Structure formats: C-alpha cells, structure tokens
Amino acid sequence: MINSKTKIIGLIGSPIEHSISPIIHNKIYELEKENMVYLAFNIKTNELESFIKSAKTLGIHGFNITMPHKKSIIPYIDEFVGNHKSINTVKIENGLLIGTSTDAYGFSYLLKKNNINIKNKNVIILGTGGASNIIANNIKNECSLTVVGRDKDLLINMSKNFECEQSLFSDIDKIKNIDILINATPLGMHGISENFENFNFLKNINSDGVVIDTIYNPIKTQLILEASKLNIQTCNGLDMLLGQAFKSHNFWFLKELESNVIESVQNAVISYYTK
C-alpha cells in the first residue's frame, strides 16, 4: 500500500511508453515487501537538469536512465561506481548522484540465460551508441569483433578503443562468416519509425549462428522475424533488461535477490507479454 513513507524510484528517457521496467521493479517490491513504487518519467533532452533538481527536492531514492540520457547524465553525476562511459542507474544519497551502469551485467546475464557462447566466435555489433560500446567492451577479449555503423568517426573511435574491425552499414553485406549478430541500435523499437532498409545481411550468418536483438518491445522485432524465417536462432533483449533490473536493485539496496524472486519476476513479465 502506498503511504507517506513510500519511496520513489523511476526511469527517465524519451520515448518511455514502451518500457516494462515498472512491471519488473514493482513486482520485485511486491515480492520483497518493500514500501517502494517505480514510475516512468518521459524526460526530454532539455528537461534533464530540471528533473535532477526535482528528484533531489522530492527525495527520489534513485532512477534508471535510458535513451537519450545515458551519456548526457554524466556531467550531473557526483560519484561513479565503476569506469563507465554511459550511465543507466543512479542512486541519490545526501543530495549526491551516484552513478553506475548495469548494462554489461545485463548482457552477460542474457548470454548465460540463453546458453550463448561467444568465445572465439565472429561477432558483429550493429550500432555505435552507448549500448554497443558497453557490449563491445564486455566481449572484446573473447571473440573476433566487428562494429558496424553509419558514422565513420564513431566507428574509428570504437575500432581504436576496442581493437576491433569496423564497417559502414552500407558495406555490411560484405561481411561473411558471421557467428553472432547483435543489434544494439533502436531500429525496430516500438515508437521508433525507422527500421532496417533490408535484411540481406542475415544470409551471411552461419547455419549455427545467433541473432541477438537488444530490443525487447516488440518482443519479436522485424529483425528477429526475418532471422527466424532463415531458421537462425534468435534472442530478444528481455533477458538483458531483467539482468539490468536485478543488478540495479542490488545497487540501490545492497541486497541480492533470491532465485525464487527472480523466477517469479520473469514469469510475471512473460505473463504480461502473453496475456
């Protein structure tokens, strides 16, 4: 029951309507009997500073961050936990913003949950944004990595930072022998009108390859649907989101969730999508 002692945790981003994070976290609070409520706030780029001031004034305990604020939040962070170039989780203590990222953990959780082994594989990451940088940093030492994007300067930077190959999106059809393809762009996301121009590059994925789309809404993006037509194993971003959420909860409350709670939350999310 919400009362005068209820603490607020939230999510900021824009667009935000697609997010199921409130379902995940409020289910955790229900199971853990925490007097918390998790809300989603549609905060545009020019509203970020105002939100931070309001969050401190209102005593908001913490919040997650999604596009387009994962990098723009950095100047407002007073203390960092970990060496991150983008931030997706913040807690507020004594008026100070303490920031971290749970993205890398979320991606590792996805790989483990779906029994995907990237060791010594030819891996392609689509995108040069925050998510692609975090994933690339997480897997760079285990596989042969190529990053694909549209911005040549960003590709060059990623290539230097992660000592990996690079390719413009226009040349993606030239990349052969793909074991794992990871979409870390917003292409195909609910609320985003832009999508892939074509899916010819899927023909270059090996017969035992995997397509991972970090998008979770819709649960089956056009990329996943097209890959499935070619009998390619697919995986959406739902498990990555769950892993991020569990790690965020630990960051806010310094408390690991029990396996039965994790299972119940996963079941609640699956029920949400199948109802």
**pLDDT tens digit string along 153-164?**
999 999 999 999
- Would you say residue 223 has pLDDT above 80? yes
Instruction: Name the catalytic one among 5, 27, 70, 113.
Output: 70
User: Has domain 105-236 been given CATH number 3.40.50.720?
Assistant: yes
Instruction: Label each residue of 144-188 as H, E or C.
Output: EEEEEECCHHHHHHHHHHHCCEEEEHHHHHHCCCEEEEEECCCCC
Token readout for 143 is 């596989």
Which amino acid, residue 213?
D
% of the chain with per-residue pLDDT over 70 = 100
Tokens 């989603």 identify what position? 40
pLDDT band at 238 (very low <50, low <70, confident <90, very high): very high
pLDDT of residue 57: 94
Bridge partners of 37?
A: 8
Q: CATH 3.40.50.10860: which residues of the chain?
A: 7-101+240-274
CA dihedral 54, 59, 62, 68 (to 10 degrees): 0
pLDDT of residue 191: 76
**Residue 149, CA distances (Å) to 50, 88, 137, 157 in order:** 33, 22, 16, 12
**Catalytic annotation present for 152:** no
Token readout for 25 is 């976290």
* Model pTM score: 0.89
Residues in the chain: 275
Q: Model confidence over 83-142: pLDDT tens digits?
A: 887 899 999 999 999 999 999 999 999 999 999 999 999 999 999 988 898 899 999 999
Average pLDDT of 176-193?
Answer: 91
- Peptide bond preceding 68 in cis form (omega within 30 of 0): yes
pLDDT band at 172 (very low <50, low <70, confident <90, very high): very high
- Would you say residue 244 has pLDDT above 70? yes
- Would you say residue 275 has pLDDT above 70? no
Q: Which residues contact 76 (CB under 8 A, 6 or more apart)?
A: 48, 49, 52, 97
- Would you say residue 274 has pLDDT above 80? no
Q: CATH 3.40.50.720: which residues of the chain?
A: 105-236
Architecture of domain 7-101+240-274: 3-Layer(aba) Sandwich (3.40)
Average pLDDT of 210-223?
Answer: 93
